[in-house]
Amino acid sequence: MTGKEGRLAIIEDDRLLLDQLVFALKGTFEVVTAPDAVAGLALVAREPDLFLIDLRLPPSREAEEGLGLLAAIRSKRPEAAVVVMTGETDRRYALRAVELGAFDFFRKPFEKADLLFVLRRALEHGRLLAENRALKDGMLRGRTFDGLVGASAPMQALFAKIGRVAPSDATVLLQGESGTGKELVAEAIHRGSPRKNGPFIAVNGSALPESLAESELFGHEKGAFTGAVAARPGKFELANGGTLFLDEVATLSPAIQSKLLRVLESRAFERVGGNKTVTVDIRLIAAANESLSGLVAKGGFREDLFYRINTVVLDLPPLRERRDDIPLLVEFFAIRAARRHGRPSKTFTLETLAAMKARPFPGNVRELEHLVEMLTLMVEEDVILPDHLPAPGPADAGAAGGELPLGAAVARFEKELLVRAIVRGGGVKARAAEVLGLDSNQMKYLCRKYGL
């Protein structure tokens, strides 16, 4: 910033018009210019507060060139406002520009006074967004812990425990419902430990096929089984010198539990099909979605392995026990989603936040994050109102941490799968339908069913 109102980047290939624009605006803005899309994108490095771009730019001189530049600018510098100018008469280009994040769109020729008015409004809009973002970042400061967010008593207590256990080399057991952030906690412990420069290897026990679990964890030699065309190290070897995070440890078979116990006691093992002893130096962080002591009592988990990994236990609270953190989490996820997708950060009204605090969120923080990301992508307005929230799914009705009826559980899975596909498709439902193998009618039905 200088003594002028801000830095303006003008991308225009018509040399005469460019000179006229510079002459008209240099008294108000610090002006930098570029004659084509490539040079225009390079101006992002100079951090303009505002962009004024033509659509039909070299090298192609097609309108898509300017639209592509607009999208790239919004992705690299989402806090900067972009105003589009063109000689096009087709309204489709105006709509496309606005959809891609342009603050305004007007046609040539134009009056200097009109242009100056629009540019000043765009600049003010960008500053308000930046101030809003700074306020949100300030609100989060002091309420985050290495990627974890929470001001509630349960989370502050968890942060304190992480701070105490991280510098040690003790085995840690994380217990909490699905979606409470166990892998984030494991990563925070790793980054706070003397092993932080070593690898962090995460493996989900429930995702390991029974026939391949031993190979995945401990590796195999060439020819150990059909398909073993080359020797391969397992997760334990890959984590050597660092931390191994073993999620859903309770889903491991008794045979794998037995070998895991031996490895934890000796820090040595043989690959599948091999006879050479491999030694490793790892710190284990295990996680479970339910109480392992309860499983031990019912014979569902080895007692000796339980005592081996039960050195330090951290219980992660479900979201329903920390509802006061929901506004804080919403702001955190809104900022992150906006930056990830190159969109303006959404503002959630107090009424909307109150409605979100009243929702059960059986999927815990993960479900809340998916909801905020979906709203960031799907809602055109800058302010999220209660009406923008999708209706709770059938699975939410009885969500209190207990078991769900089969139909409700299937509906919950279906809704979460749908939301994930929409988010991964950048908010484009047609793309999500293609990924899910649905036709347009099926997609419309499911979106209406779950209020998406």
Torsion sign (Cα): 119, 94, 81, 136: positive
Q: State the number of CA atoms in the 13 A half-sphere of 288 facing the CB.
A: 20
For domain 321-450, is the CATH number 1.10.8.60?
A: yes
Report the pLDDT value the prediction gives residue 245, as an integer from 0 to 100. Answer: 96
Report the pLDDT value the prediction gives residue 154, as an integer from 0 to 100. Answer: 93
Task: Convert the pLDDT of each residue in 193-220 to its tens digit.
Answer: 999 999 999 999 888 877 788 888 998 8
In this chain, the answer to whether the domains covering 7-140 and 321-450 adopt an identical fold is no
**Distance (Å, whole) CA 436 – CA 428:** 13
Report the pLDDT value the prediction gives residue 129, as an integer from 0 to 100. Answer: 65
Report the pLDDT value the prediction gives residue 79, as an integer from 0 to 100. Answer: 76
3-state secondary structure of 379: coil
Which residue is it, tokens 């440890």? 249
How long a stretch of residues is the chain? 452
3-state secondary structure of 127: helix
Q: What is the pTM of this model?
A: 0.61
For domain 7-140, is the CATH number 3.40.50.2300?
A: yes
CA distances (Å), origin 335, targets 146, 160, 329, 445: 16, 26, 10, 31
**Distance (Å, whole) CA 309 – CA 292:** 10
**Distance (Å, whole) CA 345 – CA 334:** 6
CATH number of 146-315: 3.40.50.300
DSSP alpha helix (H) spans, 141-234: 153-165, 182-191, 213-218
**Distance (Å, whole) CA 242 – CA 284:** 9
User: Are the C-beta atoms of 346 and 383 separated by less than 8 Å?
Assistant: yes
Report the pLDDT value the prediction gives residue 54, as an integer from 0 to 100. Answer: 92
User: Are the C-beta atoms of 238 and 198 separated by less than 8 Å?
Assistant: no
Report the pLDDT value the prediction gives residue 406, as an integer from 0 to 100. Answer: 55
Map out the domains of the chain as residue ranges.
7-140, 146-315, 321-450
Residues of the chain short of pLDDT 70, as ranges, are 1-3, 128-142, 392-413, 424, 426, 451
Report the pLDDT value the prediction gives residue 136, as an integer from 0 to 100. Answer: 57
User: Are the C-beta atoms of 172 and 234 separated by less than 8 Å?
Assistant: no
Report the pLDDT value the prediction gives residue 300, as an integer from 0 to 100. Answer: 85
Task: Convert the pLDDT of each residue in 278-318 to its tens digit.
Answer: 999 999 999 998 889 888 988 889 999 999 999 999 999 99
What lies within 8 Å, CB to CB, of 51 at 6+ separation is: 8, 9, 10, 11, 40, 43, 73, 80, 81, 82, 83
Q: Which H or E element spans position 430?
A: helix 429-436
